[in-house]
Amino acid sequence: MSDDSVSIDAAETEPATTMLVEVAYALPDQQVILPVLVLANATAEQAIVASGVLRQFPEIDLAQQKIGIFSRIVPLTQPLQPRDRVEIYRPLIADPKAARRERAAHKG
């Protein structure tokens, strides 16, 4: 009697314990996207810390700067999904509305 049952690999049935995400930060003249392996239940803040970006750019202040996932603002406590890109945003140096008004005034 032959066994026609399919063997299921344990890795396919158990949830992944780690996942790959990216942490991105950009300056006017430099951009970094750091791949980082985190636990499956990791938060955005945990991925940022694990990436080493805070050591590479000590001017980053997570208490003041906003972060997002794929251009959507999220809290530091946001749980991550595999392949998420956590983005650290720099503070604005000019008020966008004021800059638009100034450009319009120079045009007309």
pLDDT higher at 82 or 97: 82
Residue 31 lies in a domain: yes
**Coil, helix or strand for 24?**
strand
What is the number of other CB atoms lying within 10 angstroms of the CB of residue 59?
A: 8
pLDDT higher at 34 or 102: 34
* 3-class DSSP string for 28-83: CCEEEEEEEEEECCCEHHHHHHHHCHHHHCCCCCCCCCCEEECCEEECCCCECCCC
Please give the DSSP secondary-structure letter assigned to residue 9. -
Residue 9 lies in a domain: no
Using alpha carbons, list the distances in angstroms from residue 83 to 62, 68, 106: 22, 14, 44
CATH of residue 73: 3.10.20.280
Residue 20 lies in a domain: yes
Residue 32 lies in a domain: yes
Residue 82 lies in a domain: yes
Mean pLDDT, the chain, whole residue set? 86
Q: pTM (2 decimals)?
A: 0.74
Residue 44 lies in a domain: yes
- What pLDDT was estimated at residue 9? 46
**Range of lowest pLDDT (3-17, 34-48, 59-73, 85-99):** 3-17
Say how far apart CA 55 and CA 34 lie, in whole Å: 13
pLDDT band at residue 80, thresholds of 50, 70 and 90? very high
Into how many domains does the chain fold?
Answer: 1
For 42, the domain range is 16-96
- Answer for the pair 83, 20: CB distance below 8 angstroms, yes or no: yes
Residue 7 lies in a domain: no
Say how far apart CA 89 and CA 78 lie, in whole Å: 16
Residue 11 lies in a domain: no
